């Protein structure tokens, strides 16, 4: 009678290997928990990088034209920004500040009046106990948001100046965190991301100016109160693609509702026309293919990062999605699938592809 082969006994993992795996697991879990706890700090870091990108984008043409050093060019870029803001404040500051105070005083009454007329439009009831509802509530909490926004802005500006002065130090330190075989790809991702962010920021600045001007003029023609301040709000909100234009239109629609229903329709039509001009004419011309994201991807990126990082993530969600898009193209499409990638407005093949 033949003996059946005995099943192999399971191999025991040595104690030192088991302990090492457990420690690695807990280290990864602790790192993930730290990232979650410091999520707002990470958003501030990315905001500081955007500030540095803006400063260097302005300083680079100055340096090329005048042949001066980088730091002096950065100083001139900062002074130019301060000068522009000072001139605008001198010409329109008193009118804008007065109208902003008027808008802040009128909005609560307008919202309350509209809610009484149409109870189903009460925002707190529609979005209560949802992630997006919590985001909206925190974004419009005036007591904490304004102070937090000012503090965050100051931190981002100061840190952005430091990064702009010596960007290579931070880039070199970040790249060295990765294995030597991947450092070239990481450097390429950082370079392409910087280029894409410069393009996007320039496009957004142009779009903000045009949208704010058109909305302000249009609301003045329609007859909505505080048109200049509402145009400023719409222009600033334009920095957040997709969601920003909707947020920027809400104050104008609320104030128009205090006048007449016909004015609400004219205001709504104005915002629709302005956004069509911005989406189909302005952005395709000034942004180009280098920063193009599918609308649904951009929308979910803004919402997801807003839920993760709060109001600051809502503001920085789209540019961060641009960086993620560049990384996916470089690492996955080009590195894994060996497909052509599209960056810097031209077709680019990975370095390891013939």
Of 79-88, 122-131, 168-177, 273-282, which gets the smallest average pLDDT? 122-131
Q: How far is CA 37 from CA 114, 153, 200, 263, 309, in A?
A: 39, 20, 29, 46, 10
Q: What is the pLDDT of residue 350?
A: 43
CB 50, CB 319: distance < 8 Å: yes
- Own/partner contacts of 226-230, CB < 8 Å, gap of 24 or more, are 226/99, 226/100, 226/102, 226/103, 226/106, 226/255, 227/99, 228/92, 228/95, 228/96, 228/99, 229/96, 229/99, 229/100, 229/102, 229/103, 230/99, 230/103, 230/255
Render 52-114 in DSSP notation, one character per residue. Answer: HHHHHHHHHHHHHHH---HHHHHHHHHHHHHHHHHHHHHHHHHHHHHHHHHHHHHHHHHHHHH
Q: What is the pLDDT of residue 120?
A: 47
Q: What is the pLDDT of residue 275?
A: 86
Residue 146 confidence class, pLDDT cut points 50, 70, 90:
low
pLDDT tens string 304-328: 877 777 777 778 888 888 888 888 8
pLDDT tens string 75-101: 888 888 888 888 888 777 777 777 777
In 3-state terms the chain splits into helix, strand, coil percentages (rounded to 5) of 80, 0, 20
Strand partners, 342: 347
In whole numbers, what is the pLDDT of the chain averaged over residues? 77
Residue 133 lies in a domain: yes
Residue 12 lies in a domain: no
Residue 331 lies in a domain: yes
Number of independent structural domains in the chain: 1
Return d(Cα 162, Cα 154) in angstroms, integer. Answer: 13
351 — phi, psi (to 5°)? -65, -30
pLDDT tens string 173-208: 888 888 888 888 888 888 888 888 888 888 888 888
Q: What is the pLDDT of residue 142?
A: 46
Q: Taking Cα atoms as reference points, which of 216, 274, 280 lies closest to residue 245?
A: 274
Residue 72 lies in a domain: yes
Give percent of the chain with pLDDT exceeding 70. 74
Expressed as residue numbers, the domain containing 57 is 39-348
Q: Higher pLDDT residue, 261 or 130?
A: 261
What are the structure tokens assigned to 132, written together?
């997006």
């Amino acid at each position: 009678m033949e003996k059946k082969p005995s099943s192999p006994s399971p191999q025991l993992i040595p104690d030192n290997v088991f302990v090492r795996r457990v420690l690695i697991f807990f280290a990864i879990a602790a790192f993930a928990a730290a990232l979650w706890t410091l999520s707002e700090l990470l958003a501030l870091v990315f905001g500081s990088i955007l500030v540095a990108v803006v400063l260097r984008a302005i300083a680079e043409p100055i340096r090329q034209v005048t042949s001066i050093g980088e730091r002096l060019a950065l100083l001139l870029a900062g002074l130019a920004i301060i000068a522009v803001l000072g001139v605008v404040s001198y010409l329109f500051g008193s009118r804008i500040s007065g109208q902003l105070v008027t808008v802040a005083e009128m909005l609560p009454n307008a919202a309350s009046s509209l809610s009484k007329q149409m109870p189903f439009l009460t925002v707190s009831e529609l979005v209560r106990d949802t992630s997006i509802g919590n985001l909206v509530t925190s974004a419009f909490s005036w007591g904490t948001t304004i102070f937090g926004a000012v503090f965050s802005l100051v931190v981002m500006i100061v840190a952005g100046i430091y990064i702009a002065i010596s960007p290579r130090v931070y880039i070199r330190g970040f790249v060295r965190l990765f294995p030597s075989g991947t450092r070239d790809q990481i450097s390429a991702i950082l370079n392409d991301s910087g280029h894409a962010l410069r393009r996007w920021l320039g496009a957004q600045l142009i779009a903000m100016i045009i949208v704010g001007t058109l909305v302000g003029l249009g609301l003045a023609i329609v007859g909505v109160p505080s048109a200049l301040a509402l145009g400023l709000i719409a222009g600033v909100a334009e920095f957040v693609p997709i969601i920003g234009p909707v947020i920027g239109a809400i104050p104008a629609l609320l104030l128009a509702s205090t006048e007449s229903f016909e004015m609400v329709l004219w205001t709504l039509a104005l915002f629709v026309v302005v956004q069509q001009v911005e989406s189909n004419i302005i952005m395709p011309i000034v942004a180009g293919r280098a920063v193009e994201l599918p609308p649904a991807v951009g929308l979910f990126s803004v919402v997801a990062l807003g839920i993760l990082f709060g109001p600051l993530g809502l503001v920085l969600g789209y540019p961060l999605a641009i960086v993620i898009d560049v990384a996916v193209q470089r690492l996955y499409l080009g590195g894994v699938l060996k497909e052509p990638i599209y960056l810097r407005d031209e077709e680019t093949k990975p370095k390891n592809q013939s």
